[in-house]
């Protein structure tokens, strides 16, 4: 029986994942005292974590009220996806790092897992694969600034996509198989630019799916 050691970094990731996985849906009010009690520490380090989450636009801290999980209106969601499309196009342009056999192997493993997912869907497994794919591709990005932006926008839009993934299991899983198939092929060809454009396309497909499901009148551009 080991006592779990909570570092501020691990608490940050825990809360971020709870927000992304809709354990804390938009509008949820988080209280510093409650979180402090849960993790067995004082409010001080909790506040530091909440400030980091606020910088990532996942929560808003309101004096005298609490820390509120942010929601996105149509315009903001549109802005985020618009930028993600453009950032994807830059992945292959801004001197990506060399692709290795390891990358190829990682993608192949993920593809196998995704294929199993089509018949036996599990939200948890879906997100593990999705996150792993994101990490793999982010690691290819050579420009450190682009990598930061890419990463932040992923987590900023993740929960709205998760909502859709929970609704349309089959189609989403099939899309993931298609995406990972293409990514695997691109990695085999050592073609980072192809990886970027594949990302761009599937982000666009995902956004279209999101708009169709939630609000048909959402402006495209």
Partner DNA sequence: ATTCCTATAGATGTATACACCTTTTATTGA
Partner DNA sequence: TCAATAAAAGGTGTATACATCTATAGGAAT
Residue of the chain from 20, 30, 69, 88 that contacts DNA (CB under 7 A): 30
Selection from DNA, its own copies, none that 95 binds (CB < 5 to 8 A by kind) is: its own copies
Q: Give alpha helix (H) positions in the chain.
A: 8-20, 32-39, 43-55, 74-91, 101-119, 123-138, 144-167, 169-188, 192-214
Interaction between residue 48 and its own copies (CB under 8 A):
yes
Instruction: For residue 35, give every residue at least 6 positions away whose Cβ sits within 8 Å of its Cβ, in sequence order, or none.
Output: 15, 46
Give the contacts of 189 (CB within 8 A, at least 6 positions apart).
none
Rule CB under 7 A: say whether 4 interacts with DNA.
Answer: no
Least CB distance to DNA at residue 7 (A): 7
CB of 144 to its own copies, least distance (A): 5
**C-beta of 62 vs 190, nearer to DNA:** 62
Beta bridge partners of 66: 62
Furthest CA-CA distance within the chain: 56
Of 2, 7, 124, 144, the one binding its own copies by CB under 8 A: 144
**CA 194, CA 89: separation in Å to the nearest integer?**
9
Nearer to DNA, 62 or 86 (CB): 62
Between 67 and 133, name the residue whose CB sits nearer to DNA.
Answer: 67
- Residue 216 binding: pick among its own copies, DNA, none (C-beta 5-8 Å cut-off by kind): none
- Rounded to whole angstroms, the Cα distance separating 55 from 74 reads 21
Half-sphere exposure of 125 (CA within 13 A, CB side): 17
Chain residues that interact with its own copies, rule: CB under 8 A: 48, 51-52, 55, 76, 79-80, 82-83, 86, 90, 93-95, 143-146, 149, 153, 221
Chain residues that interact with DNA, rule: CB under 7 A: 8, 30-33, 41-45, 47-48, 61-67
């Amino acid at each position: 029986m080991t006592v779990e050691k909570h570092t501020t970094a691990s608490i940050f990731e825990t809360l971020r994942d709870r927000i992304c996985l809709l354990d804390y849906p938009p509008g949820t009010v988080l209280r510093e005292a409650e979180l402090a009690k849960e993790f067995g520490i004082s409010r001080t380090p909790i506040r530091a974590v909440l400030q980091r989450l606020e910088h990532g636009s996942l929560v808003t801290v309101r004096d005298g009220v609490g820390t509120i999980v942010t929601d996105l209106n149509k315009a903001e969601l549109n802005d985020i996806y618009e930028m993600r499309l453009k950032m994807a196009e830059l992945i292959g342009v801004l001197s990506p790092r060399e692709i290795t056999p390891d990358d190829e192997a990682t993608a192949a493993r993920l593809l196998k897992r995704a294929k199993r997912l089509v018949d036996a869907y599990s939200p948890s497994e879906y997100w593990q694969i999705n996150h792993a794919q994101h990490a793999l591709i982010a690691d290819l990005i050579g420009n450190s600034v682009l990598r930061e932006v890419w990463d932040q926008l992923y987590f900023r839009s993740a929960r709205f996509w998760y909502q859709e993934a929970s609704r349309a299991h089959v189609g989403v899983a099939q899309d993931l198989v298609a995406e990972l198939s293409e990514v695997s092929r691109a990695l085999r060809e050592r073609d980072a630019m192809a990886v970027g454009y594949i990302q761009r396309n599937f982000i666009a497909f995902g956004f279209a799916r999101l708009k169709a499901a939630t609000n048909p009148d959402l402006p495209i551009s």
